[in-house]
Amino acid sequence: MAEVILDKVSKTYPGGFEAVRAFSLDIRDEEFVVLVGPSGCGKSTTLRMVAGLEDITGGTIRIGDRVVNEVAPKDRDIAMVFQNYALYPHMTVFRNMAFALMLRRQHGAFDNLLGRVLTPGRFRAARQERQGIDERVRAAAEMLGITSLLDRKPSALSGGQRQRVAVGRAIVREPKVFLFDEPLSNLDAKLRVEMRAELKHLRQRVSTTTIYVTHDQEEAMTLGDRVVVMKDGVVQQCDTPFATFERPANRFVAGFVGTPPMNFLEGSLALDGDGLVFVHGPDRLALAPEMAARMKPHVGKNLTLGIRPELLAVAGGWRHAADLPGSVRVTEPLGDRMDVHLRTRQDEALTARIDARTRVAPGDDVMLQVDMERVHLFDTAAGEPNLSLPPEAAASPA
């Protein structure tokens, strides 16, 4: 087990494309960190640089107490689980899982032969080592519920079973660091959710330092101790799942984390007596007092108001609610909840996730209520930072 430290790590591909820019992150021993972001944001490149499968063009990567920039992948003491599992088709599950350990043992035996004659003592040691491999494979198989599959070939396994074998193969190696590259993306939606829970359960028993890459924000939120949100090769925020959701550093993170995504309304900030209002066309939404006090310096600026769909209701009953008229376009019942798609009077789209028993239908004009204590205000300037965070949260988002 080990900590992993990335210090200003960059990758510029031949041709000049900057896939990763000055990526810095300290991953604690036993921590589970998820890199998440849209396709092409550089998350796989970052993982592959940690694995040693991709040269880095700037910065330093440290695993434990060793800088590994120049260390070959096989010598980094990492185990990687790939999206396509990369199992050997001609080997049984047992051999697939044991292969790396057997390889290690054979190298040891070869050295022995070169240097010395195989004495009875060494022969006994080799047998013990073989038994050790057998035990490790069986213990991992037991943990993953695949003991009955050990004699099968990968072609006789389902996608979920193959995925377990790939994870098992990583576990038996007892590496310092696990690297997962989109390990669930080849599974159908239901199995993905099941396997996600299994990985989480496994995590409670095997606490190896882990870097996990996914484009699925829900997977990132459910699995990570910390989540690193990336865009265009740049870290946007590195925080706990709760903090990335509740205190997004900028508009990109706010829109990326959460389902359905956060609503954004364009407008400006104006004084209204002692308080402040967000002006969106003909609508004026009064800020909650605490946020108004923080936002005073930004009066007159063009801003974007971020409202999560759960913070819109027809009758919210919130302490600091603002009214916002809307017209219903589509309703999507989801069991106990319902997603309602509306337009504001400024013709901007909104989604509200409300109680399914609320009586609304397409064509209705409704008065929505907005929970103004939990909205966000983003500067429309470069990077669209979140201006409404309390100072202690704003100080440490990335």
237 near ligand ATP, rule: CB under 6 A: no
Nearer to ligand ATP, 45 or 386 (CB): 45
What are the residues whose beta carbons fall under 8 Å from the beta carbon of 377, sequence distance 6 or more?
269, 278, 291, 295, 298, 303, 304, 305, 306, 386, 387, 388
Shortest distance in whole angstroms from residue 13 CB to ligand ATP: 3
Nearer to ligand ATP, 46 or 304 (CB): 46
Q: Which of 134, 182, 194 is nearest to 158 (CA)?
A: 194
Tell me which residues in 198-217 interact with ligand ATP (CB under 6 A). 215
Q: Strands, E, within 220-320: which ranges?
A: 226-231, 234-239, 263-272, 275-280, 283-286, 302-307, 312-313
Q: How many residues bind ligand ATP (CB under 6 A)?
A: 13
Shortest distance in whole angstroms from residue 44 CB to ligand ATP: 3
Asked if 308 and 376 touch (Cβ cutoff 8 Å), the reply is no
Nearer to ligand ATP, 233 or 397 (CB): 233
Longest dimension (CA), the chain: 93
Shortest distance in whole angstroms from residue 25 CB to ligand ATP: 15
Helix (H, G, I), strand (E, B) or coil at 371: strand
Shortest distance in whole angstroms from residue 37 CB to ligand ATP: 6
The residue range among 12-20, 129-137, 166-174, 322-330 that interacts with ligand ATP, by the rule CB under 6 A, is 12-20
**Cα–Cα distance, 297 to 206 (Å, whole number):** 49
Helix (H, G, I), strand (E, B) or coil at 137: helix
The residue range among 13-21, 192-200, 257-265, 308-316 that interacts with ligand ATP, by the rule CB under 6 A, is 13-21
Tell me which residues in 27-56 interact with ligand ATP (CB under 6 A). 37, 39-45
Residue of minimal CB distance from ligand ATP? 44
- 314: alpha, beta or left, given left = phi > 0 and alpha = psi -120 to 50? alpha
Rg (CA), the chain: 26
- Exactly one of 2, 9, 19, 389 binds ligand ATP (CB under 6 A); that residue is 19
Shortest distance in whole angstroms from residue 11 CB to ligand ATP: 8
Q: Which of 314, 298, 299 is nearest to 357 (CA)?
A: 314
17 near ligand ATP, rule: CB under 6 A: yes
21 near ligand ATP, rule: CB under 6 A: no
Nearer to ligand ATP, 19 or 149 (CB): 19
Asked if 102 and 131 touch (Cβ cutoff 8 Å), the reply is no
Residues in contact with ligand ATP by the rule CB under 6 A: 13, 15, 17, 19, 37, 39-45, 215
